[in-house]
Amino acid sequence: MGVAKYTKDAKGQITDVTLQSGIHVKSFYGPEDLERIGFSYEKDLADPGAYPFTRAIHREGYRSRAWTTRQYTGFGTSRETNERFKLMIAHGQTGLNVAFDLPTQMGYDSDDPRAEGEVGRVGMAVDSLRDFETAFRDIDLAKIGSGLTINAVASIMLAMYQAVAEKYGYDARVISATPQNDILKEMIGRGAWIFPVEPAVKLIGDTIEYSMTTMPRTNPVSICGYHIRESGATPAQEIAYAILIANAYIDNVLPRGYDIDEFVGRFSFNFNVFGNIWEQVAKFRAARKLWAKNLKEKYGVKKESNMFMRGLFGGGGYGLTKAQPENNIMRGAYYALSAALAGAQTIALCSYDEAYTIPTPHSAVISLRTLQLLMDEVGLRDTVDPLAGSYFIETLTKEMEEKIEGEMEEIRKVGGIIPAVATGYIQRLVSRQAYDFEKGIQSGELLKVGVNIHTEGESKDVELHEYTGETAERQIEELKRVRRERNQRETARTLKDFEQATRAGKNVMPYLVECCKAYATVGEMTNVFREVFGEFKEPGLF
Amino acid sequence: MAKTIRVLIAKPGLDGHDRGAKVVAHALMAAGMEVIYTGLHQTVEQIVAVALQEDVDVIGLSIMSGAHIPITEKLVRKAGEAGIGDKTIVVGGVIPGRDIPRLRELGVRGVFPGGTPFAEIVRVIRENVRRD
């Protein structure tokens, strides 16, 4: 989805285009449009690298540094994941983005009854430090940064990352992890939440505080408009909710006595790229500007580089189709183009087979090549913000900005982002929209190639990533060995210290690092949180 | 007047991708059915208990994680044990074509991979519930 609505007359001429965020596109734009929106180069754009950073956060853009390519990778055991990491690095990938299996994301050990059938299926299974030792073996953690796509137990994974790095001789100050660590978006979409809103947000505050003092190259939180959009939000809502969520995390850290300039510069974002190309470009430009304005005007951030909206723009999973799967390769190319035209720092693409399966090595490399082709072959690094000054793009960017501000206002009206998530207001809104979009696709009001236009009848299955029960068996065997061989007294001691710290409301991170080093399991650590915090109660759908 | 069809939309397992489940819930309601939605992270035992308690006609499983076969096998077994093996079971989600025969063998009446038209889902449910 994400296509605009087109109205045509009897001759087939387009008479109206309505973008997903509700903006109408005219047949052409001119100087009078810039006049109408009160366009000012200094106020609305400024040069690349200058406030409000609409054009780019760095003056030289991709000339100084191409975007980081970071395909989402991980499946089976840590051994298989390590092999795939090395394959992607050998093919020129410059950062890792670790996928975890569902038991790990939900804090269950691989031999927990709730993990049955899920071990190693949608990502790598992690039970203890032993798995990280294998996954990151022979990878230069001082050079390669790692995205850790995990949220409810991101604190545990970040602690484990520090533990593995130190075990391999790296100083915590040189490593760079980017845990996703955005629990409010999990409650809106994606659903990998465990604990209630308040302690869940407090844990994020802990990781931000700890990173600031101990792992300064870590980006402790990656706020994901991405999944909110996948769940049915419009591009304007995607940005609006992400900024409000980021503010909720800031508001958790500030009362701990820090200056905002000490930590906000490490926040990063993850946004989606499917849909109308112009709307995406305008969305990212408006988002950069609004984030900078929000930090400067609302929070009084002083240092300009702390106002950068850095992020991973990519994915586009919901835009992909099962029908005519090879078309997804082309879709990916256009999605990446819009991210690159909008100045993304990091880009990842869903692979063309992802509507069916975990990407095969072949399809993962095609995604990487798509990004490299844009970077090295067709000119996306030539000049910064190449669409700037277009009557259309500047008007649209301004209109997107207004739409985003309007969506933020709607949330303020219901009491702010935390009540809007806790009561299910946003969840109900986006699921209703998702239903309307599906109806639009099914009625043909919204066009989708291969689905409701240019169709070919039955589509064939693509090559599938094979999952076997052996993965779980091997993982459980290894887990049992770790449990048997570790220093039991040390594990018990670190878990007890961690529990006391959790109950006392202390920052849990240093205690988690000790637990990880003592080979406490993910399940054991999460159970402490479950006991102390309880679980999130999902609001009703209707 | 025909009895209103009651459908339980369930999200078994640990996966939290619920866009599809919620969209289908809306579509079934629009078609005049009563929908009960379990919410996320349900065990098969919990789903069977709700199906029993709510006396539904249909159990709809939404599974995106790839674990559709083991989960469905377990659901069919547990529903049988609970004496509700006669309910119409349908499954939707990320379901590769090659897995459809196995799901049918288990007694699943409708398999709905992503992109299945709402009309098709409604038709299959109505036909099966009527036949029952």
* Number of structural domains found in chain A: 1
Nearest to B96 among A122, A356, A435 (CB): A356
Does the ipTM exceed 0.85? yes
Q: Is A123 on the interface with B (CB under 8 A)?
A: no
Which pLDDT score is estimated for A470?
Answer: 87
Q: What is the mean pLDDT of chain A?
A: 94
Domains, in order of start, for chain B: 6-117 (3.40.50.280)
- Using DSSP, state whether A148 is helix, strand or coil: strand
For A409, phi then psi, to 5°, come to: -65, -40
Burial class (CB in 10 A: 0-12, 13-18, 19+), A36: exposed
For A288, phi then psi, to 5°, come to: -60, -45
Chain B from 4 to 23: CB within 8 A of any A CB: 11, 13-19, 22-23
Which pLDDT score is estimated for B3?
Answer: 83
C-alpha A242/C-alpha A236 separation (Å) is 10
Which pLDDT score is estimated for A460?
Answer: 67
Give the CB-side neighbour count of residue B50, counting CA atoms within 13 A: 23
A361-376 pLDDT, tens digit per residue, is 889 889 999 999 999 9
**Contact partners, residue A302, CB within 8 Å, separation at least 6:** A261
Do the Cβ atoms of A357 and B96 come within 8 Å?
yes
Q: Please give the DSSP secondary-structure letter assigned to residue A3.
A: P
Does residue A509 sit within a domain? no
Domain that holds residue A422: 5-443
What residue in B sits closest to A355 (Cα-Cα)? Answer: B94
**Residue A169 structure tokens:** 């001789």
Does residue A64 sit within a domain? yes
**Contact partners, residue A485, CB within 8 Å, separation at least 6:** none
Residue A185 near residue A227, CB atoms below 8 Å? yes
Which is nearest to A310 in space by CA: A220, A404, A250, A425?
A220
Do the Cβ atoms of B19 and A230 come within 8 Å?
yes
Nearest to A323 among B13, B41, B115 (CB): B115
Q: Report the length, in residues, of chain A.
A: 542
C-alpha A414/C-alpha A267 separation (Å) is 26
Give the CB-side neighbour count of residue A467, counting CA atoms within 13 A: 25
Does residue A90 sit within a domain? yes
For the ranges A3-12, A225-234, A398-407, A414-423, which has the lowest average pLDDT?
Answer: A3-12
Which pLDDT score is estimated for A461?
Answer: 65
Which pLDDT score is estimated for A1?
Answer: 40
Taking 70 as the pLDDT cut, the residues of chain B under it are 1-2, 131-132
Does residue A220 sit within a domain? yes
A295-352 pLDDT, tens digit per residue, is 999 999 999 999 999 988 988 888 998 889 999 999 999 999 999 999 998 898 988 8
Alpha carbon of B113: minimum distance to chain A alpha carbons (Å):
9
Which pLDDT score is estimated for A459?
Answer: 63
**A75: confidence class by pLDDT, cuts 50, 70, 90:** confident
Alpha carbon of B29: minimum distance to chain A alpha carbons (Å):
11
Does residue A43 sit within a domain? yes
pLDDT value at A464 more than 90: no
Residue A236 near residue A279, CB atoms below 8 Å? no
Do the Cβ atoms of B14 and A357 come within 8 Å?
no
A178-219 pLDDT, tens digit per residue, is 999 999 999 999 899 999 999 999 999 999 999 999 999 999
% of chain A surpassing 70 pLDDT:
98
For the whole model, what pTM was predicted? 0.94
A240-297 pLDDT, tens digit per residue, is 999 999 999 999 999 999 999 999 999 999 999 999 999 999 999 999 999 999 999 9
Does residue A473 sit within a domain? no
Which is nearest to A350 in space by CA: A341, A336, A342?
A336
B96-130 pLDDT, tens digit per residue, is 889 999 999 999 999 999 889 999 999 999 999 97
Nearest to B97 among A231, A461, A538 (CB): A461
Buried-state track A431-463, b at ≥16 Cβ within 10 A, e below 16: bbbbbebbbbbbeeebebebbbeeeeeebeebe
Between A465 and B77, residue with greater pLDDT? B77
Which pLDDT score is estimated for B1?
Answer: 54
Residue A499 near residue A532, CB atoms below 8 Å? yes
Q: How many CB pairs under 8 A join A and B?
A: 98
Does residue A240 sit within a domain? yes
Does residue A511 sit within a domain? no
Residues of B whose CB is below 8 A from A121 = 65-67
A109-150 pLDDT, tens digit per residue, is 999 999 988 999 889 999 999 999 999 999 999 999 999 999
Which pLDDT score is estimated for A268?
Answer: 94
CATH number at residue A57: 3.20.20.240
Residue A348 near residue A259, CB atoms below 8 Å? no
Q: Report the length, in residues, of chain B.
A: 132
